[in-house]
Every structure is written in C-alpha cells, then in structure tokens.
Structure 1
C-alpha cells in the first residue's frame, strides 16, 4: 500500500509542470499621444482578461501564445475611442505594448431607395396630367438628404486637407528634430536612448516629421537610418 501511494506521488510530481508565464504591460494614449485614464483593456486569453486602466496603465499575466489586445474608452456608456493591437509571446519575461486610441467614427447609413418605382409613379402621374403633392414632398426630402450628406463629406475632406497643409510641431517633435539636426543622421534606437518615451510614441513622432518632409528614413539592414533634411 505504501509503495502504491509513493508511486502515485511520483506520478503527480512528474505531471505537475511549472507554467511559464509572461507579463504584458503598457500605457494607453489618445491620437494626440496624451495619456488617457478610465479605459477598458481586454486580452483574448482563455478565459479572457479585462483590466480597467484607471491611471492609463495596464498589465496582464499570460502564457506563451498570440494575443489580441483591445482598448475601449467610454463616455456615458457610449464608445468614443477604440484600438486593437496584436502581440506574440514566445517566452517568459516582460513585454511592453503601448496602445493608441483613435476616435470611433459613427457613420450614418441611408437606406437604399428604389428610385425606379418613384420614377415610374411620377411618369404615370405626369401622363395623366396630375402630379401627386406627396410624391413631390418625397422627392424634395430625398434631394435634401443627399445634399446634406455630400456637404458633410466635403467638410470632412476640407478639414483633413487643412490639417495636412498647416502642420504644427509639438514640443516633443521639436526636441526630436533638433536632436536629429545636431547629429545630421541617427537611428531610432539612439533617439529612444536620448528621450524617455515609449517606442510607439517615438515611431509616431518620426512618422509625423517624415510626412512634413523634415527628415528622411533610409532602410539599412534591419533598421532605419534617420537623416535630417535641410
């Protein structure tokens, strides 16, 4: 009996393996790179984990695997900003993934209208020499809806163009640009050493400066050389 109990104990010890885990942590920013709070962060582990980032920081403990992390910002139970990112955990350790929220765009959907039926009814009334007053009102309403929709789209496009035409450098962008200008050319790794910012924020700053034609990225090996443009 003692031998059997000892055998069971040995088998149990062999079967009980330590579960290697990793930590995924980071901060949540809005599209202006300002840290935001009270954001719901969720990861698709089994079972899924949900973290309410009260101060804008989150942390999950997970085993190795591929995961999707989404962050959602609410105001009065309505989603105002959202992000979805993916990460692969291969071994135990600390993984940092900063999340950037973008505004949730509410699109107005206009139901399809069978204009052929309206056209046929209108032509029939014209042939009979009488145009229905209700039909005229319907056509006017449709035209007004279409005009307002086109005007809204045109206004959005105009706003986007203004933002592109008149770029304004933030304090962070100015400091990074001065650093690149001083060294003539550098790497993103060196910029991260000089500025206490996350990798995501540095990447956004460099992308913004490149879009304004102030710097140029040159692919070299696995990294990029960043050159100041005069």
Structure 2
C-alpha cells in the first residue's frame, strides 16, 4: 500500500495560476476556484492565486466570483496533464450574461431562436476581442516583472533562482537550507522581495511557504 502511494505521489503534477478581472486585468480577491478531480478540489482564494495537486488526466478548472450572493463573473478552462511538473493556467473572469426571455405574444419560436443566437454571438465576439488584449496586458506585466528581477542585487537574484528551481514554490526552511544563510538574513531578503512584488509568503503550520509570482 505504501509503495502504491509513493508511486501515485511521484507522478503528481501541480496546476496553478491566477484569476484576473475582466474590468482591469488585476487579480481578483475572494474568488472560488474548483477543479473536477476525484474527489473534487475547491478553494476560496483571497488574492486570486490558486494551486491544485493532480495526477495525469484531463480536467476542467472553473472560477466563480460572487457579489451579494449572486454569481457575476466566471471562467472555465480545460487542461490536460500528461506528466508531472507545473502547469500555469491563468483565468480571465468575464461577466455572466443572462439572456432575457422575450415575451411571446405574436412572436414565433423561430424569431425567439434567432434573437438568442444573435445575443450569444455578440457575447462571444466580445470575448474573442477581449482575449488578445488580456494576454497582451498579462505579457507586458510579466515582462515588467522580469525587468524588475534583472535589477535585483545578486543575493536576491539567487533567492529567486532557488524558488524558480523548486518549481515556483518552496518552504522557507528548505530555502534557508539551500542558500546556507541565517534565518534573520533570509527573513530580511524575503521581506524585500515581497515588498518588490516578486514573491508571496503564506503561513503553513509552523513555517512559511514562498510562492514566486
């Protein structure tokens, strides 16, 4: 049983990313992200970031944003995991549009169907137009982040490289062992990187987990 468990864990992959708003291309807070694994995994992300451990297979990731208990934006993305590793999937949440049911009166069913088709066509046309803008803005943002990293002092660059080598996330304890520095110095370096917007630090148990943005 233990042997089978180790095999399963060794073939695991990570699907991670951020959820962005359609309105300003900024990460959304308090967004629900779920994936149809068995059993299903679901999280409430406070800052728009999410991460799931999965085995090879095909999955659907769904992100939902509610206001006053009403679903106002959502996104879906299919992803196929073929081997272990980190799969980066960013999601753009768009408004949920409810097509108003027309009053029948003397309208024929053919006219109703045509109206619904037009509404759906317009909606998806807007999505197709917005998608390139979103990805361009995202690429520009990441390019700016890379530029900031290039300007880092050598000791901070090494910290970033170690986190990147670990797949984009690492415990603070493991990072300190890799760098061979004191806890005090590492805390100062991580605080500097967090201030620059390069990393995110989350409490897990008695330690911290460091994520590369």
Larger Rg: 1
For CA contacts below 8 A with separation 6 or more, give which structure has more relative contact order. Answer: 2
TM-score (norm 2): 0.49
